[in-house]
Structure 1
């Protein structure tokens, strides 16, 4: 498997990265606010016939009455906090793209992870736009091209914004691997648009 570090200016088509979308102080203030005030959940998931808690905490936010879940689990839907609703509206205006839902991931330290996946579920529609705001500890995002297994490592800084759109989910998988020496937490805000159906399964 080929592996290389990504220059943010040389990311594959469908990926764009801005390292300073939020100032250091705004990133820190928002991190501590969300860490304290969001309702964190840790659902069990079933993978390869094994059931156990996901290796991170989550919060799902939407104004719609979705039943949100994946791998036979469900998350309680929470309402939009004012600060995140304001951020969503700014992103919608900047991207000219509706964003009606937000999945927040809380990585408590380097042992919390996210496995290989694509955000390509039918509920997200064709060529979905996923907007990821990173807060807290710097983590490595791995991008793997499906056709070649080539892997790119991208360092996600606090206050950065990664946009995935176009054919990014068709052509690539992504993951957050373990970094066992990392003691500090990270929060990831992933804005997306989900079609209004009764149940969204991820």
Structure 2
């Protein structure tokens, strides 16, 4: 059985560019990676600053790679690469035709863990960043919202799926992973990115 499926597509959206492949990794390998990532990575629940208040993030995180990253008042110092995420990084770099030097891992314990509306537009990410998002475990809905038109686009992020955000996406669109009572299982998401140092 092939590890990486053959078909995915680039999608042009209003002021943005996405690559979507719902079966970038087959289910068997996706589950193997899920178990490996869950046990090997140093998952932590961190405090961030929202509207001037320090709050616990509604998920667990890890930061691996070569660069320090700061957002929402949280500075993350990188943990070392592991063999699993290095392998996944290589495959994402080939698909995205760009280089990544860091990865943010999010572990959503169930549907009560979530990610609010935001853009990945920190200065360290540069102009028109390319961010590759790999999903493992439970399927969750991921939603884009255009900042001006309020248009929404939703994806069901299935295990083994790859979603790449490129072009002007981070300038014009916000994205979120909403809460849901329909999901009781954990999900891991890896977002590969390049941090300018």
TM-score normalized with structure 2 length: 0.89
Deviation at residue 148 of structure 1 after TM alignment: 1.0
Distance 1:148 1:52, change over 3 A: same
| 1:115 matched to 2:116 | yes
Q: Which residue does the alignment assign to 1:36?
A: 39
Distance 1:11 1:115 in 2: 24
Distance 2:153 2:47 in 1: 29
How many pairs were matched up?
Answer: 187
Stretches of 4+ aligned residues off by more than 4 angstroms: 8-11
Distance 2:181 2:53 in 1: 23
Q: Which residue does the alignment assign to 1:4?
A: none
Measured against aligned partners, the alpha-carbon deviations of 1:149-192 in whole angstroms (never above 9, x if no partner) come to 12222111110000100011111000000002310010001000
SS at match of 1:33: helix
Deviation at residue 136 of structure 1 after TM alignment: 0.5
Deviation at residue 125 of structure 1 after TM alignment: 0.8
Deviation at residue 72 of structure 1 after TM alignment: 1.7
| 1:99 matched to 2:100 | yes
**Superposition RMSD in Å:** 1.6
Q: Which residue does the alignment assign to 1:61?
A: 64
Q: Is the 8 A contact 2:11 2:18 kept in 1?
A: no
Q: Which range moved further: 145-154 or 101-110?
A: 145-154
Deviation at residue 82 of structure 1 after TM alignment: 1.0
Q: Which of 12, 28, 49 is matched with 1:46 structurally?
A: 49
Distance 1:80 1:9, change over 3 A: closer
**Following superposition of structure 1 onto structure 2, how do residues 1-202 of structure 1 map, counting pairs within 5 Å?**
12=13, 13-64=16-67, 66=68, 68-196=69-197
Distance 1:140 1:88, change over 3 A: same
Distance 1:10 1:75 in 2: 32
Q: Is the 8 A contact 1:43 1:74 kept in 2?
A: no
Q: Which runs of 5+ in 1 are unaligned?
A: 1-7, 197-202
